[in-house]
Amino acid sequence: MFKLCGLQFLLAIQWAACQNMGDLHLTGPLKDMNFSIPEGTGVRPIYQFTSESPDVIFRATGEKDELIDILPHTGMLYLNGSLDWETKAVHNLQVESLDKNGDVVKGPCTVTIYVEDINDNPPKFDQTQYTGVVRQNSRAGKPFMRVHATDLDDPTTPHAQLNYSILHHFPNPYAEMLFQINSLTGEISPSRTGSYYLDPQKQDTFTLVVSVKDMAGMTENAFKNSVDVIITVKESLWKAPPTITIKENSTQPHPVNISQVHSNEPDVIYEVFEKESLAKFPFSIDQNGSIYVTEPLDREEKDAYSFFVITKDKEGELVDKPLKINVVVEDINDNPPVCQNAVTILEVQENESGGSSIGTLSATDMDQKDTLNSRLKFKILSQDPAVPTSNLFFIQQDTGVLQLYGHSLNKRIASNYSLKVEVTDEVFQAICDVQIHVIDINDQIPIFEKSDYHNVTVAESLPVGTVLLEIQATDGDEPATGSSHIIYQVKEGDPNNTFIIETDFETNRGFLKINKALDFETAAVHNLVINATNPEPLVSGVQYNSSSLTLFKVFVTNVDEPPAFHKEVYTAELSEDVPVNTLVMTVEAHDPEGDAVRYSLEGDWRKWLRIDSTTGQIYTASALDREQEQVYRVDVVASEINNAAQKFKTPLVLNLKDVNDNPPRLNMDYPLFFCYPLRGGEKALIRATDDDEQKFYSTITFSLKDDIDTINNWEISKVNATHAYLSPKHTNFEEKVYTAPMIINDNGVPQLEREVVLEVSICTCSSENSCFIQVEREHSKPSTGQAIGILLGVLIVIGAIIGGAFFHMKYKEKNKKKSQQKDAKDQSESDKLNA
């Protein structure tokens, strides 16, 4: 009884507190109702049911679980303890009202109480410690293990939403962590740094401290827990195999397994990627990583292959870094020796001594170089003819070098030998043909047909290349060989190589030609000693003698030649402002015969220069002007005083340097006008130029003349170095022509200026902004149409004058006849009267 009274008192206090909260409605008639109550709130009222019938009592039945009840007389539904969401989330009750006799007045009504979860449970890992294994070079972000924690709170609320993170890992040798965790799933994977740096040789074990928080890790008062994760790093399975060696031309059934690779991840897709673009790629891989060669290989066709193996996941993304696979094709002896030439031809002189090297027989083997498969051996099988003996020649077994035995050859006995040489490797053999030509020795010297070709007289003007003499020597050695070919040379008497001798090797005839221009003044006579030699050295004991020498004399006659200047072209540079009579330069010419020379100029059409006819000194004759001729070219003429027809001329190029001697000028081919009436803001473009050379950036300054009308009416604004705008200062202009005096300056040294007067028309404009009024211009020339009109008018006037004169003459002639007829009539009548 005391306990009940105490509960009623507590409920009354809470009820009063709730009633003071104006927005709460905690009483009402009995009906079906739902309530949401947070767990762990303790004793508290829930709702008070009322009844219109007096003297009723209330009764609650159902899932009260000794925590929920109702006061019979007041209808107060209340908690007498704390609800627990984890124990029971929903309580279903029935409430009814009864009269004094226990009969149901109203109800039963369904009352459902939903327990609201509060965050009262910390997350808990499934294990007290986790272990995992990761492979070296595993893909960044690819999980290799997972941790898991649970939270007993309502999973539909943040109370049970968990967030994972790595607090530490030991050791931590780098600035960035080697591992990462999915904050929602707890999956652990290598980071980018870990994928690159994890190495069991350096560190094979790591301890991770993994933390978990509820409330999605978003609040500071969330519950959290942690666990240790022990991770072992193992060596990567993804490794390129050593270089694979495959024997060529294998007879095994193909495909043949040659190697295998393993990814660090399961269920990957293996593919091969060829580095070279081959017509047919002879390798493949299956989904176990086994690599196959699909057909026999030929080392002579290709001796090595390189390709890559890659792995992909089911989404087609690369899993591992590509592995490079190297394959070497091993040689077998499957190629015979091959003679490099169908017939090897060698030459040997008949006086060669025993042991002399004749030449080398070359053969090849397509098998691998520097192996026994390609090692060749040489052996002479036969010699034809076998005279004077059958073993005149010897071949070195390993090099193929042919040598003579102790016997010298004699061309009179045999001029040619044919050898059959066997070339073998360990399996195959080939027969090579060798022909040896015995050639004559150079034991005969050339002999001239004449020991003296006497002389020839020629003019010094004879052109280069002229043949002066044909010479002939004979040689008794074998024709068409280096022993019998003859080379002619001027041995003495030609220090300047004025002559050259060319040989026709078919006839051994020599042709003495002029190699350089003859000059009587330098050498009037050439005493030549000519020798004849062979390209091939003479044999020991034989020497050239006087029979291989001949004499020839060339007399050069004098020809009157024109003078010659010391230079082919004369150039000079002058400033355009040099005074008249300034010395430009001195030219010099000489006459080969020593005659006196006179100088003159040709092509001086501007009369800027003059030359002293005796000394060759050239002076300025008048003022120079670079703006007229920047580069002035004339010819300087040297002629013999006694024979003016003998003359020679050479160009003189005069480069004029600019000085600032031209003020700037207007450069405008259009009239200046403004449309009437002015509205303000108009402007017209003015353009100027400077005729002087602009070594640097030209700047022209525009300014108005300092008078009142000009200053009041106009203003000038600069556009750039050569342009400016002229603008009206007001709009009160009449429709007429105005003048704007202005000054333009350049930036030269010294600075020059020009005063100009601009005519500006203020005129009515057409729709195309063209001025209707033509500005009157003094001394203007008529246009073509005007000229034609004037000419026609003049012709018409002249025609009228001539016509008038013609009619006037006709009229006078007619009147004269009439007068004569009248006079005759009067005379006749007078005669009649007298009679």
Whether residue 701 is contained in a domain is answered as: yes
How many separate helices (H) and strands (E) can be counted in the chain? 4, 58
Q: Provide the H-helix boundaries in 134-255.
A: 192-197
Note whether 460 and 550 are same-domain residues.
yes
pLDDT value at position 178?
A: 94
Pairwise pLDDT comparison (351 vs 314), residue with the higher score: 314
Pairwise pLDDT comparison (92 vs 692), residue with the higher score: 92
Note whether 134 and 230 are same-domain residues.
yes
Give the Cα separation of 690 and 666 in Å (integer): 9
Whether residue 776 is contained in a domain is answered as: no
User: pLDDT-based confidence at 125, cuts 50/70/90?
Assistant: very high
724 pLDDT more than 50? yes
User: pLDDT-based confidence at 3, cuts 50/70/90?
Assistant: very low
The answer to whether 345 touches 307, Cβ cutoff 8 Å, is: no
User: pLDDT-based confidence at 147, cuts 50/70/90?
Assistant: very high
Query: Could you tell me the CATH number of the domain that includes residue 747?
Result: 2.60.40.60
The mean-pLDDT minimum among 580-589, 605-614, 654-663 falls in 654-663
pLDDT value at position 617?
A: 94
Pairwise pLDDT comparison (770 vs 164), residue with the higher score: 164
Note whether 450 and 551 are same-domain residues.
yes
The mean-pLDDT minimum among 531-540, 727-736, 775-784 falls in 775-784
Note whether 54 and 35 are same-domain residues.
yes
Pairwise pLDDT comparison (32 vs 275), residue with the higher score: 32
Whether residue 346 is contained in a domain is answered as: yes
The range of the structural domain enclosing residue 138 comes to 124-234
Q: Quote the number of domains for the chain.
A: 7
3-state secondary structure of 439: strand
For the record, the structure tokens of 417 come out as 């030998």
User: pLDDT-based confidence at 776, cuts 50/70/90?
Assistant: very low
The mean-pLDDT minimum among 476-485, 560-569, 577-586, 813-822 falls in 813-822
Arithmetic mean of pLDDT, 735-763: 87
Q: pLDDT per residue over 96-105, tens digit each?
A: 999 988 899 9
- Contacts of residue 29, defined as CB under 8 A and 6 or more positions apart, other chains included, come to 49, 50, 51, 52
Max Cα separation, the chain?
Answer: 210
User: pLDDT-based confidence at 594, cuts 50/70/90?
Assistant: confident
Q: Where are the beta strands (DSSP E) in 141-286?
A: 145-146, 149-150, 163-170, 179-181, 187-190, 205-213, 224-234, 244-247, 256-260, 269-274, 283-285
Task: Find the helix or strand (DSSP H, E) in which 690 lies.
Answer: none
Note whether 430 and 499 are same-domain residues.
no
- Contacts of residue 811, defined as CB under 8 A and 6 or more positions apart, other chains included, come to none
Give the Cα separation of 589 and 289 in Å (integer): 94
Give the Cα separation of 330 and 332 in Å (integer): 7
Q: pLDDT per residue over 405-447, tens digit each?
A: 877 788 878 889 999 999 999 999 999 999 999 887 888 899 9
Note whether 539 and 569 are same-domain residues.
no
Domain end among 100, 116, 132: 116
Q: Check residue 678 and report its DSSP letter.
A: P
The answer to whether 514 touches 499, Cβ cutoff 8 Å, is: yes
Bond into 495 cis (ω within 30): no
Arithmetic mean of pLDDT, 327-333: 93
The answer to whether 607 touches 619, Cβ cutoff 8 Å, is: no
Nearest to 587 by CA among 561, 615, 607: 615
| Most confident residue range from 169-178, 226-235, 531-540, 725-734 | 226-235
pLDDT value at position 260?
A: 95
Whether residue 390 is contained in a domain is answered as: yes
Given 3-state DSSP classes, what are the helix, strand and coil percentages for the chain, each rounded to the nearest 5? 10, 40, 50
Give the Cα separation of 269 and 309 in Å (integer): 10
Stated pTM of the model? 0.44
3-state secondary structure of 621: coil
Arithmetic mean of pLDDT, 229-254: 94
Give the Cα separation of 124 and 595 in Å (integer): 127
The mean-pLDDT minimum among 441-445, 656-660, 758-762 falls in 656-660
CA distances from 668 to 303, 722, 739 (A): 80, 12, 16
User: In degrees rounded to 5, what are phi and psi of residue 343?
Assistant: -135, 125
Note whether 429 and 453 are same-domain residues.
no
Nearest to 685 by CA among 693, 674, 694: 674
12 pLDDT more than 60? no
Whether residue 225 is contained in a domain is answered as: yes
pLDDT value at position 787?
A: 55
Whether residue 37 is contained in a domain is answered as: yes
Whether residue 222 is contained in a domain is answered as: yes
pLDDT value at position 392?
A: 92
3-state secondary structure of 234: strand
% of the chain beyond a pLDDT of 70: 89
Give 435's Cβ-side CA count (13 Å radius).
9
For the record, the structure tokens of 774 come out as 């033509």
For the record, the structure tokens of 82 come out as 């704390």
Give the Cα separation of 59 and 57 in Å (integer): 7
Neighbours of 573 (CB within 10 A): 10
148 pLDDT more than 70? yes
Q: pLDDT per residue over 359-374, tens digit each?
A: 999 999 999 898 999 9
Bond into 750 cis (ω within 30): yes
Q: pLDDT per residue over 59-114, tens digit each?
A: 999 999 999 999 999 999 999 999 999 899 999 999 999 998 889 999 899 999 99
Whether residue 798 is contained in a domain is answered as: no
pLDDT value at position 8?
A: 55
Domain end among 612, 630, 657: 657
Note whether 326 and 370 are same-domain residues.
no
459 pLDDT more than 50? yes
The strand pair at 401-404 and 357-360 is best described as: antiparallel
Nearest to 659 by CA among 582, 576, 580, 579: 576
Domain end among 540, 557, 574: 557
553 pLDDT more than 50? yes
% of the chain beyond a pLDDT of 90: 54
The strand pair at 499-504 and 509-514 is best described as: antiparallel
Q: pLDDT per residue over 173-223, tens digit each?
A: 888 899 999 999 999 999 999 999 999 999 999 999 999 999 988 888 899
Q: Where are the beta strands (DSSP E) in 281-337?
A: 283-285, 290-293, 304-312, 323-330
pLDDT value at position 500?
A: 95
Note whether 682 and 721 are same-domain residues.
yes
Round the average pLDDT of the chain to a whole number and report it: 86
